[in-house]
Amino acid sequence: MVLVVAMVSSLGGGGLIDLGSAFVLQSKAQALHDRWDYMRQNGIPDSHLDELTREWAVAQSYVVIGAGGIFWLPGGADTISRWQTESDAIWSRDLSAFRSQAILAEQNLHAVLAPESFVQRKSRLDVFGQATTPLDFSTLRDEWNMEARLVPIDRRIAGFAGGVVQEVHKAEQLGVRSDPAAGIISRADTYSQLPAQQRMSRAEFLTRDLLAVQKNLQGRLDAAAVTQQNMQHALDEISIAALYGLDLSGYQSRIANDRIRYANALTVAEFNSITADLQQVAGAADSAINVVLSQTHVISGVAMIYQDHPLSCEEAATSMALTHQGISLSQDQILNELGADLRPMYVDGQGRVRWGNPYETFVGNVNGSESNYTGFGTYYPPLVRIAKAHGASILAYGSMSAETIYARVIAGHPVVAFSTWDWRWHPRRDYMSFDGQWIPWIGPVYASHVYTVVGVSATQVLVNDPIRGQYWISKGAFEAGYSDFEEAIVFA
């Protein structure tokens, strides 16, 4: 005790000191030091506690009988009181500051996410309401600031991922493989559910990979679309060649192989290679067709038969076509099986001509006249029905192009074609049948006629005309007259 008193006296303390007070102050100082550790752990920056920590270090630089020397001197209690006050102030100041910063961060995120409903926002506000320490508020501040920075990034990634999904759907429609799209879409989905920090670390790589996959897919799809167009063109050419009676089965095998290659292609180069092969196939088929078209083809075994009645041209044309199959069927037999709608034409209250339906039966009197509405004729469906009933083989009927007729004739099949009398195009004056169907019609001023096509050359068409006999006409004239109706029957 004498030693302590002497030491304190030498430090200018003057007088005896209460040893218990020094130990109490040391204990309070230690508690404050522990509190500073707690404050650091709960978000108070080290720099805000540096001065207090330095003073603590000085106070503990010399210890006398278990207490810092400063606590043995007068004013030690004031130091502890000041440390306490400053600690409270630092905590309060930082808590307020970080809370304000968190509020601003949340408001900024809300603005960036606009439009955002209160329901969508409520989870953030609930978390904010539960925060109690500077660390809580600084953590929310940093997280929300990062979320705000991530909003445009996330939206861009979502847009790229959506673009890849669209490309995948297009690939499915085109029958194109889309790998590795499934993997990148899965990564984008996983990314969307990660915390902000992890999203930020992965965003750049994911964006790069999404763009690469989308660019790759788009290139494939563009190339695949071209390939499909060329595949369809090649198939069309092969189909047309078949109409001309050409055997191009070898090319069909190539197309089948190209289909397999197409289904497995993963690069633009592969699609381009398939396209090149298909173009060769189409070119070869086109060349074969052109060779055929440059030649003259006349079908043998088709009798020339003139019509027996003023309006029995379609029956005569059908009789002619049937002779090619060795079937003899007179015009009167056909007319008898057709039956006739002899009800007279009338004009209804809307100014429309109303008459029978030639798609069902013969309209009017076969010995009548189209110009005075006493007779008209029949179209292809009843003729097909009767021909089949007598064992005829019919390859096609109904609407077809002039080019199809040429191909069928070149392949050796006579065709009954519905056209105009003078081989010219005329404006239609369609009438309405009694049963409400619009009927193609150029009468009563101009007359329709029916022919049997039996030959084709590079520039002309050979027809059996039931009134004028057999003759060649130009393809231009044939197509002009035929274009008014574009209906025909192809016989085997």
Q: What is the largest CA-CA distance in the chain?
A: 158
Count of residues in the chain: 492
Per the listing, tokens 């899965």 go with 186
Q: Which residues contact 281 (CB under 8 A, 6 or more apart)?
A: 234, 237, 238, 251, 254, 255
- What separation in angstroms does the CA of 94 have from each of 100, 114, 203? 10, 30, 32
pLDDT in tens, the chain (492 residues): 433 443 444 444 444 445 569 999 999 999 999 999 999 999 999 999 999 999 999 989 988 888 888 899 999 999 999 999 999 999 999 999 999 999 999 999 999 999 999 998 999 999 999 999 999 999 999 999 999 999 999 999 999 999 999 999 999 999 999 999 999 999 999 999 999 999 999 999 999 999 999 999 999 999 999 999 999 999 999 988 888 889 888 999 999 999 999 999 999 999 999 999 999 999 999 999 999 889 999 999 999 999 999 999 999 999 999 999 999 999 999 999 999 999 999 999 999 999 999 999 999 999 999 999 999 999 999 999 999 999 999 999 999 999 999 999 999 999 999 999 999 999 999 999 999 999 999 999 999 999 999 999 999 999 999 999 999 999 999 999 999 999 999 999
- Cis-peptide into 134, omega within 30 deg: no
The tokens describing 491, both together, are 């016989």
- Cis-peptide into 444, omega within 30 deg: yes
CB neighbour class for 295 (10 Å; exposed up to 12, middle 13-18, buried from 19): exposed
Instruction: In whole angstroms, give the CA distance from residue 149 to residue 173.
Output: 37
- Give, in degrees to the nearest 5, the angle at Cα 119 between 117 and 124: 100
Instruction: In whole angstroms, give the CA distance from residue 476 to residue 460.
Output: 8
Predicted TM-score of the model (pTM) = 0.63
Count of Cβ atoms closer than 10 Å to residue 190 Cβ: 12
Beta bridge partners of 469: 465
Domains of the chain: 2-107 (no CATH), 133-294 (no CATH), 298-491 (3.90.70.10)
Q: Which helix (H) or strand (E) holds 487?
A: strand 487-491
The tokens describing 387, both together, are 């021909």
CB 278 within 8 A of CB 236: no
